[in-house]
Structure 1
Amino acid sequence: MYQVKRISRSEFVPIRNLSYHVRLWGEPTPGVAPLVLVHGWMDVAASYQFVVDAFSEAFAQGRCIIAPDWRGFGLTRWQSPDGQSGAGAPDNYWFADYLADLDFLLDHYAPGQAVDLLGHSLGGNVVMHYAGVRPERIRRLINLEGFGVPATRPSQAPGRYAKWMDELKRLHRGEMALKAYPEAGGVARRLMKTNPRLGQDKADWLAQHWAVPNAQGQWEILGDAAHKIPNAQLNRVDEVLALYARITAPTLAIEASDDSLSGWWGGKFTLAEFHERLKAVPHLTTGVIQDAGHMLHHDQPEQLARLIEDFVA
Structure 2
Amino acid sequence: MKSSRSEFINIRGLSYHIRHWGNQDAPMLFMLHGWMDMSASFQFLVDALQREWHVIAPDWRGFGLSDHAGTNYWFPDYLGDLDAILQHYSPAQPVYLLGHSLGANVAGVYAGVRANRIKKLVNLEGFGMPNTQPEDAPARFATWLDELQGIPSLRSYATQEEVAARLQKTNPRLSDERAAFLSAHWAAPNESGAWEIQADPAHRLSNPYLYRVEEVLACWKLITAPVLWIEAKNSELLTRMGSKEKARAEIDRRIASIPNATILMVDNAGHMLQHDQPEMLAAAIDQFLD
TM-score by length of 2: 0.96
**Which amino acid is the alignment partner of residue 132 of structure 2?**
T
Q: What are the residue-to-residue correspondences of 1:186-197 with 2, within 5 Å? A: 186-197=162-173
**What SS does the aligned partner of 1:71 have?**
coil
Q: Residue 128 of structure 2 contacts residue 213 of structure 2 at CA under 8 Å; is this kept in 1?
A: no
The Cα offsets for residues 208-232 of structure 1, whole Å up to 9 and x where unpaired, read as: 0111110110000001111122221
Q: What are the residue-to-residue correspondences of 1:114-125 with 2, within 5 Å? A: 114-125=94-105
Q: Does 1:308 align with 2:274?
A: no
**Which amino acid is the alignment partner of residue 281 of structure 2?**
L
- Equivalent pairs: percent with the same residue? 53
Aligned twin of 1:74: 64
Q: Residue 9 of structure 2 contacts residue 15 of structure 2 at CA under 8 Å; is this kept in 1?
A: yes
Aligned twin of 1:247: 223
**Which amino acid is the alignment partner of residue 44 of structure 1?**
M
Aligned twin of 2:271: 294
**Which amino acid is the alignment partner of residue 215 of structure 2?**
E
Deviation at 1:155, TM superposition (A): 1.5
Aligned twin of 1:53: 47
**Matched residue pairs, number?**
289
**Which amino acid is the alignment partner of residue 35 of structure 2?**
W
What is the root-mean-square deviation of aligned Cα atoms in Å?
1.4
The Cα offsets for residues 172-228 of structure 1, whole Å up to 9 and x where unpaired, read as: x33x31111111111000000000000000000110011111011000000111112
Residues of 2 paired with 1:96 and 1:296: CA distance?
A: 26
Q: Residue 91 of structure 1 contacts residue 168 of structure 1 at CA under 8 Å; is this kept in 2?
A: no
Q: Residue 130 of structure 2 contacts residue 240 of structure 2 at CA under 8 Å; is this kept in 1?
A: no
Aligned twin of 1:21: 17
Residues of 1 paired with 2:215 and 2:80: CA distance?
A: 17
**Which amino acid is the alignment partner of residue 250 of structure 2?**
E
**What SS does the aligned partner of 1:12 have?**
strand
User: Residue 92 of structure 2 is aligned with which of 97, 106, 112?
Assistant: 112
Q: Residue 92 of structure 1 contacts residue 227 of structure 1 at CA under 8 Å; is this kept in 2?
A: no
Residues of 1 paired with 2:210 and 2:118: CA distance?
A: 27
Aligned twin of 2:33: 39
**What SS does the aligned partner of 2:203 have?**
helix
Q: Residue 239 of structure 2 contacts residue 247 of structure 2 at CA under 8 Å; is this kept in 1?
A: no
**Which amino acid is the alignment partner of residue 192 of structure 1?**
Q
Q: What are the residue-to-residue correspondences of 1:1-16 with 2, within 5 Å? A: 4=1, 6-16=2-12
**What SS does the aligned partner of 1:146 have?**
coil
Residues of 2 paired with 1:72 and 1:38: CA distance?
A: 14
TM-score by length of 1: 0.89
